[in-house]
Structure 1
Amino acid sequence: MSCLETREHDNLTQQRENLENLTQQLELLQAQNLNLSEAVQQLHGEDCYHFSNEFKIWQKNKDYCSSLTSKLLQTDSKEELDFIMQELFKLSDVCQGLRYHENYWFGLSYNTAIKKWVWEDGSTLSSHLFQIPENNYKFYRNGVCPYFQGEKVLAGDCWQLGYTIHEKKGRFSA
């Protein structure tokens, strides 16, 4: 083999090794993405629930839901609410013996004009599902949005950061 052929052979061998390494890295990343995707979505009945892993304000989460052709969670039954609470419990962490719950936005906001909690579709909250502690909502300049924190439903400024729960018929794509 000539010197030029040897260099081309070595270069080709190096490129093959690089390609194999990149292929292995890609497969690993795809597997991790698939595992993450499966970890944050659950089927229940005909609906699939996606528990986000991104911290965003309420409106950005709503926009993200739309991009997935889904909507922020609108729970209308005690059974569905119990399912959501079980899933949120599974997502909570234990630190030094104490359980820590993240905040999860859902599709409800406070309409100051009618002084009622309103779902994204315009319907009002049924009081039999859960109660949201009364607060002085006039201090929330960016609107008032409730969130789940463990088994509690609390209200906060819609611009504070939180995770979110999306729902749609069928499965979310990974």
Structure 2
Amino acid sequence: MSEQEVIYSTLRFLQSPSESQNRPKADSVQRSKNTDNKGFSLPWHLLAASLGILCLLLLVTVIVLGLKVFQHVQERHQLEEILQSLSIKCDMIKNDSYVKEQLLTNKTLEYDLLKNETLQQKKELNSGKYNYIHEKNICQRKNISMTSQNKDKPRNEFWSCCGEKCYYFSKEREKWRRCEEICRKYNSFPLKIAGEDELRFIQAQVFTEYYWIGLTYDDRKNKWKWFDNTDYSGIDSDGKTSLPSGGKCACVTATRLETMDCFSSYNCVCEKRITFHPHW
């Protein structure tokens, strides 16, 4: 064997029995430590993941609460605006109510003044100062300048005046409902007889003709009514309200009141109240 050749040999040390016994124990302790370290490393990962999830949940909760708070602030702001608007409207209504109360007070005062003036005028009429009915030759048939509203055919018509009323006796024969249109042409209304004196004056003008008046029978209420929807309470001084049976529309003749079929054609009587006595 040459010098360059190297001889490897395994050296074995002789160990005492005590060392040989202690070494396996040390190895087992080392392996148990490594095993323990590996066992405790897994729960820390789970804890970190749990903490991350918890933080995420807290973040979501904070965001949701923030949105709720923002929404609540917005709603409160809207409610404050609505309340302010309602307060302004309430003030406006109060002002309007105050103005209306003032107007009502003024109108009440005006009404009281007019009422007093009316009572005074009635007293003067009753005393005879302006009582046209009892004046000499006050009820006469004259050609008064009263024209119809038909501008194509303006014409004067014969009107009979007595007291504060003037009467127009139409020449056209029409159904009862058409009389109101004829009277409207002359700014007047169908005749409403107030008493025996007025009835006698009308009868003296109609001669032998039949003339519709503003009186008709109301089937719903089973009573006679004037054109202005007031009840017929009779004309005679004895207060009789019955009319002859025969129709549901009333007309006047030279001697009496008659009831006829409303679709029959007769002349019409219109009346118009005047505020001054016409000059003859």
Q: Are the aligned partners of 2:251 and 2:257 in contact in 1 as well (CA < 8 Å)?
A: yes
Aligned with 1:60 (options 165, 170, 178): 178
Q: Given the alignment of the two structures, is residue 103 of structure 1 paired with residue 203 of structure 2, yes or no? A: no
Q: Please show how residues 1-174 of structure 1 align to structure 2 within 5 Å.
A: 34=156, 37-38=157-158, 41-88=159-206, 92=207, 101-129=208-236, 131-135=242-246, 144-170=248-274
Structure 1 residue 110, shift from structure 2 partner: 0.3
The SS at the match of 2:177 is: helix
Whichever structure has more helix as a proportion of its residues is: 2
Name the CA distance, whole Å, in 2 between partners of 1:63 and 1:74: 16
> Deviations 1:6-31 (Å, cap 9, x if unpaired)?
xxxxxxxxxxxxxxxxxxxxxxxxxx
Q: Would you identify which runs of 4 or more consecutive aligned residues in structure 1 move more than 6 Å?
A: none
Q: Are the aligned partners of 2:195 and 2:235 in contact in 1 as well (CA < 8 Å)?
A: no
Structure 2: 5+ residue stretches without partners:
1-154
What percentage of aligned pairs have identical amino acids?
Answer: 27
Structure 1 residue 128, shift from structure 2 partner: 4.2
CA RMSD of aligned residues (A): 2.1
Amino acid in structure 1 at the alignment position of 2:175: I
Name the CA distance, whole Å, in 1 between partners of 2:192 and 2:200: 13
Q: Are the aligned partners of 2:191 and 2:271 in contact in 1 as well (CA < 8 Å)?
A: yes
> Deviations 1:27-47 (Å, cap 9, x if unpaired)?
xxxxxx65xx23xx1110011
> Deviations 1:110-137 (Å, cap 9, x if unpaired)?
00111111001111111243642134x5
Residue of structure 1 equivalent to 2:45: none
Structure with higher RCO (Cα < 8 A, 6+ apart): 1
Name the CA distance, whole Å, in 2 between partners of 1:161 and 1:81: 22
What is the number of equivalent residue pairs in this alignment? 118
Name the CA distance, whole Å, in 1 between partners of 2:243 and 2:178: 22
Amino acid in structure 2 at the alignment position of 1:125: Y
Find the structure with the greater CA-based Rg: 2
> Deviations 1:143-170 (Å, cap 9, x if unpaired)?
x201112212111111100001100023
**TM-score, structure 1 as length reference:** 0.62
Amino acid in structure 1 at the alignment position of 2:165: D
Name the CA distance, whole Å, in 1 between partners of 2:258 and 2:203: 14
Name the CA distance, whole Å, in 1 between partners of 2:182 and 2:202: 20
CA distance 1:128–1:54, change in 2 (3 Å): closer
Structure 1 residue 108, shift from structure 2 partner: 0.4
Name the CA distance, whole Å, in 2 between partners of 1:48 and 1:126: 23
Name the CA distance, whole Å, in 2 between partners of 1:164 and 1:156: 13
Structure 1 residue 68, shift from structure 2 partner: 1.7
The SS at the match of 1:106 is: strand
**TM-score, structure 2 as length reference:** 0.39
> Deviations 1:61-80 (Å, cap 9, x if unpaired)?
11111222100000111111
Which is worse superposed, 125-134 or 51-60? Answer: 125-134
